[in-house]
Amino acid sequence: MGAEGGGGRTGRARRMRAGAYLGCAGVLLAGCASMPDSGDLRGVESTPRQDPQVRVFALPPRENASPAEIVQGFLEALTSDDPQYDTARKYLTTKASHQWRPERSITVLDDGPNPVAEHTGNRESGDDYAYNLTGRRVARVDAQHVYTSDAGSYEKTIHLAQLKGTNQWRIDALPQGVVMGASDFQRNYESVNKYYFAANGPTSAAGRLSTVADPVYVRKQVDPVTQVIQALLKGPTRWLAPVARSGFPTGIALRKGAEALTPDDQNRLTVPLNKAADRVGSRQCARMAAQMLFTLQDLTPTGVTSVELERSDGSQLCVLDENRAQDIASHGTAKRPEYEYFIDDKQRLVRMTTGGKDAEQVPGALGQGTAPLRAAAVSRDEKTAAGVSADGRSLYVGSLVPDAPLGEAVLQSQGASPDDRLTTPSWDSRGDLWVADRNPQDPRLLLFEKGAGDPVEVATPGLDGRIDAVRVAGDGVRVALIVEKDGKTSLQIGRIEREKAAGGKGAAGTVVSILELRSLTPQFEAVTAMSWAGDSRLVVVGRESGGVQQIRYVQVDGSTPAGSAPASLTGVKQIAASEDERLPLVAYSEDGIVRLSSGAQWQKVIKEGTAPVYPG
């Protein structure tokens, strides 16, 4: 399942869509056959790694096929691009086909299911067989199309019976869902971000809402536009639902009998809705269309530029184009950062224009060296910064304007050593400042409303370990943490929930919690650095047990994005990325401050410097 490259347009890279079709037999002994648009049939290997522009279809069982051929043919058919698995069902009895629900789940194995025959019936008549399917689980995708890492052993049984009065074998009992190897999953499925509105996120001064990405996996070649729209209409996935809301009313769906949805030659998409949409007002309809545009932006080769929503009678509900959608909600990074920041050799906060090489001190006291720093964070509007003192004990907040004074520290850690004191802080999209105190005697995750006042202690039920790093996502509803326990560190993501206490006002009257933490890097023994690197992905520096340090991209569901991993770099201590994916990665390594642009190699920017960050 690869890793995504570091550049390109915001969101996902444009996908190349199918233009050719290929048919694949579902029988191991016969192999596969391809059906080009013209020419003769030609043999290819079973379960081929096909080009993404071709579609793969299975062939039905041949006459008098053996039990082994039936099982292998069925498993091959599960990896084809047959929309309703009609060919796969031909390997089943009528009853088994009616009971089988392939949409319930996808089990992904590292090397595909291994069928082992077990004869279970009358050995003389030989009319009863079972096959054990075994393998090592990698992940599971549920009915909501949500990917979850799921390591462990896999063992299920497929039972076959001989149809009465014939020599034909068919499967009469099988597990629900589908199962396939990782390579077939990579070929068949792609991750797409659905977009919703952050329930507790900020609204800009212009009234724009904040969007939050909700990644799901859909079949690449089986009408992905319609699949994604159906998933979008059903609402946020379970983990995200408490902090995300949809503009679509309850009960909304595509109009019954609607055909596959495809943009026209002007990249406009018309979406017919059911009666639940008939009385939607113009403002709500615009929000619905904006969600759909953001979701479909990168799913087609040239993108969807406008969406028309229709009522159940076919009349127009509303039309929205890309420009108007950006007025409704911020998609990705609302404002492209002007600068990259780091700490120079004089322990001052300095900045460079994005992509530049000349550093300058930031305006204000944090750039003057009034308080020597070891780490800093800059607010998303680039007007305020927070700095951690060189000994890790004190947290300062200062304005990034000329001659702005530096007040007293807003927080002091009582940790005995620098490694037991304050982490690098992080600003969320509301303008609130987050920092963790690593003092073993009193470990806490703290939030300063607008970077000032008394801190709110953030509740972390379910946290098992000490927070070593904290980065809040641009959507304001998710937070990434590096958590240390028993000498091992892991990358975890949690959901930020805010609730007003009875009679409370301001930060002191808000209960903030991080809930349902989950690990994104179970394969890593140590995670040393991380940063958000898009709407739904992070860049991570770590190593596996007994392995060497590596840099990877990882999605918020724990999957690895398609594409290339960042170029390798030795001795990485810190890394920074922007949620605007067009901007380069910046790292602090044994070579100093280095930068990686899309399609390039790491380039040294400056020898003396540490702690690089983008705003956020």
Mean pLDDT within 72-95: 96
Mean pLDDT within 318-333: 85
CA–CA dist 31, 21 (Å, integer): 17
pLDDT at 481 over 80: yes
Output b/e per residue, 140-163; b: 16+ Cβ within 10 A: bbbeebbbebeeeebebebbbbbe
Do residues 585 and 595 touch, judged by C-beta distance below 8 A?
yes
Q: Where are the alpha helices (DSSP H) in 125-247?
A: 182-188, 224-233
More confident residue, 592 or 38: 592
| H or E element, residue 273 | none
DSSP symbol at 176? S
Do residues 150 and 561 touch, judged by C-beta distance below 8 A?
no
Q: Is 306 helix (H, G, I), strand (E, B) or coil?
A: strand
SS3 content of the chain, % helix, strand, coil (to 5): 15, 40, 50
pLDDT at 500 over 60: yes
More confident residue, 227 or 507: 227
Provide the β-strand partners of residue 411. Answer: 395
Q: For residues 195, 200, 205 and 206, what is the CA-based torsion angle, rounded to 10 degrees?
A: 30
- Structure confidence by residue, pLDDT tens digits, 243-299: 999 999 999 999 998 889 999 999 999 999 999 999 999 999 999 999 999 999 878
417 falls in which pLDDT band (50, 70, 90)?
A: very high
| pTM for the model | 0.87
Q: What domains does the chain contain, in order, with CATH numbers?
A: 339-613 (2.120.10.30)
Do residues 212 and 196 touch, judged by C-beta distance below 8 A?
yes
Kindly report which listed range (247-261, 327-341, 342-356, 540-554) carries the lowest average pLDDT score.
327-341
Token pair of 2 as six digits: 């690869």
pLDDT at 123 over 80: no
Please give the mean pLDDT across all residues of the chain.
87
505 falls in which pLDDT band (50, 70, 90)?
A: low
Sequence-ordered strand ranges (E) for 536-608: 537-544, 550-555, 574-576, 585-589, 592-596, 603-606
